Chain A
Amino acid sequence: MRTSPGERLLDLAVSSFLWGFRILIVAAIVIGTIASIRAGKYSSDQWIGFVVLGISQGSIYALIALGYTMVYGILRMINFAHGEIFMSGAFSAYFLATWLNNSGFVDRNPVLGLLIPILFAMIMSASIAMLVERIAYRPLREAPRLVPLISAIGASFFLQYTFRGFFGPGVYAYPPIKALDGQWNVFGFGILKVQIIVAVAAAAMMGILYSIVQYTKIGKAMRAVSEDKDTAALMGIDVNQIIVTTFAVGAAMAGAAGVLYSLIYRQVFFLMGFTPGIKAFTAAVLGGIGNIPGAMVGGLVLGIFESIGPSLFLEGLGITRPYQLKDVIAYTMLVMILLFRPSGILGERLTKKKA
Chain B
Amino acid sequence: MKRLFTMMSLLVLASMILTACGGGAAPTQAAAPTEAPAVTEAPAATEAPAATEAPATGECTDELGCVTIAPGEPVHIAYWGVLSGADGSLGEDSKRGVEIAIDDMGGKFHDHDILLTTEDAGCTPEGGATAAAKLATDTSLVGLIGSSCSDETVGGIATLTNAGLTTISPSNTRPALTDPNRGPDYAGYLRTAHSDAFQGKAVAEFAYNVLGARKAATLHDGSSYAQALQQVFADNFKSLGGEIVAQEAVAKDATDMKPVLTTIAAAKPDFFYYPVFVAVGGYVTAQIRDVPGLETVPIAGSDGIFTADLLKGAGPNVKGMYLSSPDFSAFTGDYAGFLEKHKAKYGGSTLSTFHAHAYDATNILFAALEKAAVVGADGTITVPRKALRDAIYATKDFPGITGNLSCSPSGDCGAPVIAIYQVENADPASWNPADPTNPNPKKVYP
**A contact residues around B279 at 8 Å (CB):** 171, 267, 269
Q: Which of B290-335 contact A (CB under 8 A)?
A: 290, 292, 309, 311-316
Q: Determine which of B249, B263, B282 lies in contact with A267 in the assembled complex, contact meaning CB atoms within 8 Å.
A: B282
Nearest CB in chain B to that of A43: its residue: B266
The yes or no answer to B155 lying at the interface (CB within 8 A) is no
Band of interface residues on A = 35 or more
Among A22-30, A134-142, A200-208, A320-328, which stretch is in contact with chain B? A320-328
Total interface residues in chain B, CB < 8 Å: 38
- B283 in contact (CB, < 8 A): yes
The reply on B130 being an interface residue by CB < 8 A is no
Instruction: Please name all residues of chain A whose beta carbon is closer than 8 Å to the beta carbon of B265 when the two chains form the complex.
Output: 46
Per-residue A-contact encoding for B82-94, CB less than 8 Å = 1, 0 else: 0111101100000
A192: B residues at CB distance < 8 A:
290
CA–CA, A45 and B260, complex, Å:
15
In the complex, the answer to whether B287 meets A173 with C-beta atoms within 8 Å is no
Name the segment of B37-45, B63-71, B179-187, B250-258 touching the other chain.
B250-258
B247 & A323 in contact (Cβ 8 Å cutoff): no
Kindly provide the distance from the CB of A169 to the nearest chain B CB, expressed in whole angstroms.
4
Give 1 or 0 for each of A324-351: 1 = CB within 8 Å of chain B CB: 1011000000000000000000000000
Chain A residues, CB < 8 A from B278? 171
Cβ of A311 within 8 Å of any chain B Cβ, yes or no, is yes
B249 CB to nearest A CB, Å: 4
- Determine if B256 and A307 form an interchain contact, defined as CB atoms under 8 angstroms apart: yes
Complex: how many Å from CA A267 to CA B85?
13
A64 and B338 alpha carbons, distance in the complex (Å): 48
Looking at the assembled complex, report how far the CB atom of A98 sits from the nearest CB atom of chain B, in whole angstroms.
11
B248 & A41 in contact (Cβ 8 Å cutoff): no
Interface string of A13-46 (1 = CB under 8 A from B): 0000000000000000000000000000110011
B404 at the interface (CB under 8 A from A): no
Q: Separation in Å of the A350 CB from the closest CB of chain B?
A: 31
* B347 adjacent to chain A (CB < 8 Å): no
User: In the bound complex, how far is the Cα of B314 from the Cα of A308, in angstroms?
Assistant: 25
- Partner of B266 from the list A41, A173, A320 (CB cut-off 8 Å) is A41
A51 CB to nearest B CB, Å: 11
Total cross-chain contacts (CB, 8 A): 108
Partner of B262, one of A173, A176, A275, A311: A311
Nearest chain A residue, comparing its CB with the CB of B289: A181
Q: Is the interface of B mostly helix, strand, loop or mixed?
A: helix
Q: B263 touching A323 by the CB < 8 A rule?
A: yes
- Chain B residues contacting A172 (CB-CB under 8 Å) are 312-313
Tell whether A170 pairs with B250 under 8 Å between CB atoms, given A264-B256, A265-B256, A324-B222: no
Is B259's CB within 8 Å of the partner chain A? yes
Q: Most A CB atoms within 10 A — which of B251, B262, B292?
A: B262
Cβ–Cβ < 8 Å partners of B250 in chain A: 323-324, 326
Query: Is A50 part of the contact surface with B, judged by Cβ < 8 Å?
Result: yes
Query: Within 8 Å CB of A267, what residues of B?
Result: 255, 279, 282-283, 286, 313
Please encode chain B, from 195 to 211, with 1 for each CB lying within 8 Å of some chain A CB and 0 for all others: 00000000000000000
**Given A267-B283, A267-B286; A190-B222 close (CB under 8 Å):** no
In the complex, 26 of the A-B residue pairs with CB atoms within 8 angstroms, ordered by the A residue number, are A41-B263, A42-B263, A46-B266, A50-B262, A53-B256, A169-B88, A170-B86, A170-B88, A171-B309, A171-B312, A172-B313, A192-B290, A265-B255, A267-B279, A267-B283, A272-B255, A275-B255, A276-B255, A307-B259, A311-B259, A320-B247, A321-B248, A323-B251, A323-B259, A323-B263, A327-B251
Seed contacts A169-B86, A267-B313; 15 additional CB < 8 Å A-B pairs: A42-B262, A42-B263, A42-B266, A50-B262, A173-B286, A265-B255, A266-B286, A267-B255, A267-B283, A308-B259, A310-B259, A323-B250, A323-B260, A324-B251, A326-B251
Residues of A within 8 A of B (CB): 41-42, 45-46, 49-50, 53, 57, 164, 168-173, 176, 190, 192, 264-267, 269, 271-272, 274-276, 307-308, 310-311, 315, 320-321, 323-324, 326-327
| Top 7 A-B residue pairs of the complex, sorted by shortest distance between their CB atoms | A169-B88, A171-B313, A321-B249, A323-B260, A173-B315, A266-B286, A324-B249
